[in-house]
Amino acid sequence: MNREPYPQETSEGTLPGAAPPLDSTKAVAPAVIDLLSTTVMMLLEGVILGRFSSAALAGGGMGLLVLFSLFTIFLTFVVGAAVPISRHLGAGEKRNADKLFGNAMGATFALGILFAIISTASGSLIFGKVFGATGEVENAAIDYFGTLALFMPIIALNFTGTGSLRATGDALAAMSANLVANLIHFC
C-alpha cells in the first residue's frame, strides 16, 4: 500500500496532501499516546490527592468534573475551527487556516480568563450548593478548583490547540505539546 502523502478526494472536498491516509498509524499512534498521557496524569494526581486524605481526593474529583464540563464548551472551538481549517489547508490556503486557528485560540484564551474569574468567585456556590459538599470535602474542592482556575486560560489553550491540531491531521505536534504540558503539570 502506498503511504506517500497525496491529496484525498472526499464528499466534503479534498483533504490536504500532507495529511496521512485515513487508516494511518501516523495519526492514530500519537493520538493514543497523547490522550493516554492525560489519563495517566489524572491517575497520578488522584493517587497524590488520595495520600493527603479522602476529602482531598473527593474534592479533586469534583473539581475535575467541573473542568470536564468546561472542556465540552472548549470542544465547540475545536470542532468549529477544525473543519474550516482543514478545508483551507486542503485548498492550499495556509494563511487563511493560520488566521482561523489564531482567532480560535484568541477566543479560547479570552473565554479561559472569563472562566477563571467565574470559577474563582463561585467555588463555594458550585461545590457547596450544587454538589452539596460540606466541611473538609467542600474546602478541598474549593482549594483544588481555585488552583485549577489560576491555570484555566493555559488549560483551555492546550485543550483547544491540541484538539485542533489532532483534528486537522497533525497528531504528532498535538502529542508533543500535550506531553510537555503533562510533564510540567506533573512537576
Contact between residue 90 and residue 83 where contact means Cβ atoms under 8 Å apart: no
Site of grid cell 485515513: 22
Contacts of 128 (CB under 8 A, 6+ apart): 134, 138
Q: How confident is the model at residue 1 (pLDDT cuts 50, 70, 90)?
A: very low
For residue 50, the model assigns a pLDDT of 92
Q: How far apart are CA 98 and CA 81, in angstroms?
A: 11
> Mean of the per-residue pLDDT values for the chain?
84
Specify the pTM. Answer: 0.74
Q: What is the largest CA-CA distance in the chain?
A: 62
Distances (CA, A) of 167 to 22, 51, 81, 83, 159: 12, 37, 9, 8, 12
Residue 23 has pLDDT above 70, yes or no: no
pLDDT per position as a tens digit, 122-149:
888 989 888 888 999 999 999 988 888 8
By the 10 Å C-beta count (0-12 exposed, 13-18 middle, 19+ buried), 169 is classed as buried
